[in-house]
Every structure is written in structure tokens, then in C-alpha cells.
A = this chain, B = another copy of it.
Amino acid sequence: MENRVERIKKQLHEQSYKLTPQREATVQVLLENEEDHLSAEDVYLLVKEKAPEIGLATVYRTLELLNELEVVDKINFGDGVSRYDLRKEGASHSHHHLVCIECGAVDEIQEDLLAEVEKIVEKDYQFKVKDHRLTFHGVCHRCQAKVKKNEESAEAASLHTN
């Protein structure tokens, strides 16, 4: 885990960006909240806990930089904010997302389901694919379970009143 920060710092250094405590704290926060999809404001509040003097503009600048270095993906789920999603190390593109229209949860699919589709796109549309964004909107497994449970108890209640 610690290595991960070191490697990102190295990457910054290689591209002749300076290693500032603000940048390190921001990367730390992203690593510690890898499963979430934080907005710039979210990151700002979390970074402030370990580096209270940091400014919001610096957080934006750092996230922008990390996006250019392909350390994070800047994604947008249609609410009014950009979210910053850490890439798995060495991943060559953005992972897929499952957005629940019932509870708002965002789950991830780490396996690449688009290999075949990309072949078709390259062949049939002569488009050289560099990256992709794939998001499914629907009902998550938790909300499906909830509905099923409610249906069962409604049935049970109906048996009682008959």
C-alpha cells in the first residue's frame, strides 16, 4: 500500500512536477478512499483533516494533474459534480460502473467487459480506441433483495388476513 504512494510520487518526479506535502496528502486521501467516488469538495474536506492549511484551488489543481498522469479518472454521473476515481495500478482504461436508480449506490466492475466490443468498433467504425466510459443504470443487488423481501412479507400478511 505504501508503495503505491511512492510510485505515484516517482511518477510526478519523472515528469518534473514538484513533490509537495499537499500533493502527497491528496494522493493519500484518494488511496484511503479508493472504493468511493469523491468529488473535489469531498477530497478537500478529507485532505483538510491531515493538512488543514490546504486550499480548495490546490485540490482542484492536484486532481487535474493526477488526471493528466492517468492516476485518476475524472468521471461524471450526471449530478452536477465531477468525481475522481483512482485507477487500478497499471490499468490501461477506466473500469465500469453500476449506478442504482433506487438507492444511488455506485458499484464497480473491475474486469474489462469491452474487449470484443472494441474490436467491432475498431473494425466496423475505423475508430482507434484509446479509452472508454461504460456505466449501467438500473437496480443494484441490494435493492432487488429488498423488493423481494417486501413481496414475501406482503404475501405472508395476506395469508393471515384471509
**Beta-carbon nearest neighbor of A108 in chain B:** B125
Q: A155 CB to closest chain B CB, in angstroms?
A: 21
Q: How far is the CA of A117 from the CA of B115 in the complex (A)?
A: 10
A19 at the interface (CB under 8 A from B): no
Q: How far is the CA of A121 from the CA of B96 in the complex (A)?
A: 10
Residues of B within 8 A of A136 (CB): 118, 121, 127, 129, 131-132
A152 at the interface (CB under 8 A from B): no
Count identical subunits in the complex: 2
Q: Is B138 within 8 A of A126, CB to CB?
A: no
Kindly supply a per-residue 1/0 record for chain A positions 95-134, scoring 1 wherever the CB is within 8 Å of any chain B CB and 0 otherwise: 0001001000001010001101110110001111111111
A141 at the interface (CB under 8 A from B): yes
**Beta-carbon nearest neighbor of A82 in chain B:** B78
Residues of B within 8 A of A140 (CB): 127
